[in-house]
Amino acid sequence: MAPIAWKGIIAAYGEFLPPLATKVTLHEGGTPLVPSSWLEGRLGRPVWLKLEGSNPTCSFKDRGMTVAVSQAAGDGARGVICASTGNTAASAAAYAARAGLSCSILLPAGAVARGKLVQAVAHGARVLTVEGEFEEILGMAVKMAAEEGYALVNSLNPFRLEGQATASYEICDALGRAPAAVVLPVGNGGNITACWMGFLRYHAAGRITSRPRMIGVQAEGANPLVRGSPVVRPETVASAIRIGRPASWKGAVEAVEASGGRFLQVSDEEILGAQRALAAEGVFVEPASAAAAAGALHLQGAGLPDGDIVCILTGHGLKDPDAVRMAEPWV
């Protein structure tokens, strides 16, 4: 038998990615797609969990980061910079370390999960905590990138989205078809934009014959895309999606509208309940990811076409031990 050699998304899906002279990889992607008996029981159809916490730094960000940092290294950038609610920081720090580039990270003060801060520091990133809303901090990162000759590796970077589109390719390859719906948490809207782009590409290439509805889930206290207007001082237990003014607003709306999907919102209580239900079937995810599963429950009787539902569980539960501690005070 030939050895199984998964060498990351650039090796697997290079034909769908921009050409890259330098490749910086930790063999990301190739993540499990596992059935959820909990959600299947509730929704009466197959529901799959795409475990993005199984990536090298424990979130989907690694798919985008391998492409963005490869491009930055090939361009001869001095280093990389990003603003982050946590996962982007850890991923940027790891891929920059892999590439031998410096990494600067701007984090919202007091709003980043411990696990992620630890990862960024372990990989040698320069971490600056800044007071302010995420969009202001992102604005600072954009400015510093231009002034210091750093590559910005937030999802405003189009190479990030190219890489993140590979989650869609993997889902279609694993199922042998497109699902009826894809449910994912939405903060800045980069990932829903990227995943929809991926389904469009696979459809255009003849790899799938239908396209899924894209269901974007937000937290009630951070629901700009559900309301249709920005939220001042967003608040939710799901720190990754505590975003009041999404950077990829347009792309997210386009994905939902063009696919016939919708945005929906879930309460913090629903999020923590879904986190516990997933953990009870062996899958531990961070609150933002649990929001997707909580959102999937809202699809009961929503008139979706027949077929599979896929929840993209974007990040690992170990990111934020404090979220569990809140729900289970004896931990």
Which C-beta is closer to ligand AN7: that of 72 or that of 238?
238
Mapping DSSP onto H, E and C, the string for the chain reads CCCCCCCCHHHHHHHHCCCCCCCCCCCCCCCCEEECHHHHHHHCCCEEEEEHHHCCCCECHHHHHHHHHHHHHHCCCCEEEEECCCHHHHHHHHHHHHHCCEEEEEEECCCCCHHHHHHHHHCCCEEEEECCCHHHHHHHHHHHHHHHCCEECCCCCHHHHHHHCHHHHHHHHHHCCCCCEEEEECCCCHHHHHHHHHHHHHHHCCCCCCCCEEEEEEECCECHHHHCCCCCCCCCCCHHHCCCCCCCHHHHHHHHHHHCCEEEEECHHHHHHHHHHHHHCCCCECHHHHHHHHHHHCCCCCCCCCCCEEEEECEEHHHCHHHHHHHCCCC
Q: Restricting to residues 292-311, name those near ligand AN7 by CB under 6 A.
A: none
Which C-beta is closer to ligand AN7: that of 168 or that of 314?
314
Choice from 56, 108, 115, 187 touching ligand AN7 (CB under 6 A): 187
88 lines the binding site for ligand AN7 (CB under 6 A):
yes
Choice from 29, 179, 189, 244 touching ligand AN7 (CB under 6 A): 189
Q: Restricting to residues 214-253, name those near ligand AN7 by CB under 6 A.
A: 240-241
Which C-beta is closer to ligand AN7: that of 44 or that of 158?
158
Choice from 84, 166, 236, 275 touching ligand AN7 (CB under 6 A): 84
Conformational region of residue 175, where left means phi above 0, alpha means psi within -120 to 50, and beta covers everything else: alpha
Smallest distance from the beta carbon of 231 to ligand AN7, in angstroms? 14
Which C-beta is closer to ligand AN7: that of 228 or that of 305?
228
Size of the site for ligand AN7 (CB under 6 A): 21
Which C-beta is closer to ligand AN7: that of 11 or that of 327?
327
85 lines the binding site for ligand AN7 (CB under 6 A):
yes
The span of 27-35, 73-81, 142-150, 184-192 binding ligand AN7 (CB under 6 A) equals 184-192
Smallest distance from the beta carbon of 58 to ligand AN7, in angstroms? 9
Which C-beta is closer to ligand AN7: that of 5 or that of 264?
264
Choice from 47, 171, 225, 288 touching ligand AN7 (CB under 6 A): 288
Which C-beta is closer to ligand AN7: that of 22 or that of 263?
263
Binding site for ligand AN7 (CB under 6 A): 59, 84-88, 155, 185-191, 240-241, 286, 288-289, 314-315
